[in-house]
Amino acid sequence: MPIQEAEKVDLNEIKPEAPSPSAKAPEDKSAKRHDTYDDGLHERFILWKDQAGHTYSHIARMINRSTAAVSNYVNKVFAGDLAVFEKDIANLLRREEELEFTAMPRTFCKTLASRLIWEVFQFCDENCDMGVAVGPAGSGKTITCNEYKRANRNTVFVTADIATRSVGSVLRMIAKRVGGTPHGVGSNSALLHAIIEKLKQSNRLIIIDEAHFLTWEAFEVIRKIHDCAGVGVVYVGMERLYDQMKGTSGRNFLFEQIYSRISIKRDDLPVEREDVKALADSLRPGLDKQCIDFLHTKAQGRGKFRTVVKLLQVAGSMERDYGQAMGLELLRSAETFLLKG
């Protein structure tokens, strides 16, 4: 099936520039020095720069600053007006940052489900292989994706949805994360080959979350990237994702090329009592056995860990607003509230 045309993408191929210790912004004796850096902002900027793949000169054009100024900021030797420069950086991140990556979850618990998903990521990352991690909503898939990305900054992490499921949309999302594709790329075919060239011998891992939304054509271009660039790929999504790959009826024969490349999968993501207790302790320490048993029972149904979090959030609000003591009765009241809401 021919690949359709996409709107033009300009991600500017620019060779990385090494920081120049002698190239500094004009000295301003009244300026803030490096010990007044907003460390949180600086860390966010470094994470964004690493995952986007942009060069210093590219970033400099994005904020209308010199390449030397960006380099000096990265290396914490900026000699200009740091407060003003950090406003430019904050505005840049507000426009460009991957919010699903940078927004730290309130807590990340290494549940059995998350460890099983992590195994797939690690295997495919180390072996440049293809894998699948599927499970019901609320089992911690997306949070685990985010956490793996934070721990392994080189990971290319994109999320599909009903509006970004086509070939062009998926290629543009990957291109944005990869960075540095050639100027003036005008078609999906050209963009695909530009991404392949950028990723060759990079040993990077591509994680596609909500992959059950992808069209067959989108799966095929990702397979092409995997085959030609030699990078790892993991599809993460609902249970029907793997079912459509291994099916035998209708158009499912189209997925044979994908299915035959799957080397590792995890499709049984249990919710253990110990996991529920760890999550509950991180959000509301000190719950008794009855409360944990109740939460564990609810986590076996639809929503899994997400249900536990919602129950604790609502119960916490009721505890503050109505002065009720946290306990089994309050959790049951929270459940009733959610069901009626």
pLDDT 10s digits, 5-20: 444 444 444 344 444 4
Q: What residues in the chain have per-residue pLDDT under 50? A: 1-34, 103-104, 248-249, 341
Residue 39 lies in a domain: yes
Contact between 165 and 217 under an 8 Å Cβ cutoff? The reply is no
Residue 240 lies in a domain: yes
Please indicate, yes or no, whether residues 216 and 137 belong to a single structural domain of this protein: yes
Asked if residues 330 and 338 have their Cβ atoms less than 8 Å apart, the reply is no
Residues 243 and 301 in one domain: no
Q: Quote the pLDDT of residue 115.
A: 94
Confirm whether 102 is domain-assigned.
no
Q: Which of 266, 288, 303 is the last residue of a domain?
A: 266
Q: Are residues 227 and 146 in the same domain?
A: yes
* Residue 316, domain member (yes or no): yes
As given in the structure block, the two tokens for residue 66 are: 């010199």
Q: Are residues 118 and 259 in the same domain?
A: yes
| Domain edge (last residue) among 238, 266, 294 | 266
Domain that holds residue 41: 1-97
pLDDT of residue 131: 94
**Domain identity same for 210 and 91:** no
| Pair (14, 81) in one structural domain | yes
pLDDT of residue 2: 45
Domain presence at residue 179:
yes
Q: Which tokens in the block code for residue 216?
A: 């067959």
Number of domains in the chain: 3
Q: Which of 266, 285, 320 is the last residue of a domain?
A: 266
Residues 155 and 77 in one domain: no
Residues 206 and 182 in one domain: yes
Helices (H) and strands (E) in the chain, counts: 16, 5
Is 117 inside a domain boundary? Answer: yes
Question: In angstroms, rounded to a whole number, what is the distance separating the alpha carbons of residues 241 and 259?
Answer: 11
Residue 103 lies in a domain: no
Strand ranges in 41-163 using DSSP code E only, listed in sequence order: 130-134, 156-159
Q: 77 with 132, same domain?
A: no
* Cβ–Cβ under 8 Å, residues 92 and 62: yes
Check whether residue 86 and residue 23 sit in a common domain.
yes
Q: Residues 141, 213: one domain? A: yes
Residue 183 belongs to a domain: yes
d(CA 71, CA 58): 11
**Does residue 255 share a domain with residue 190?**
yes
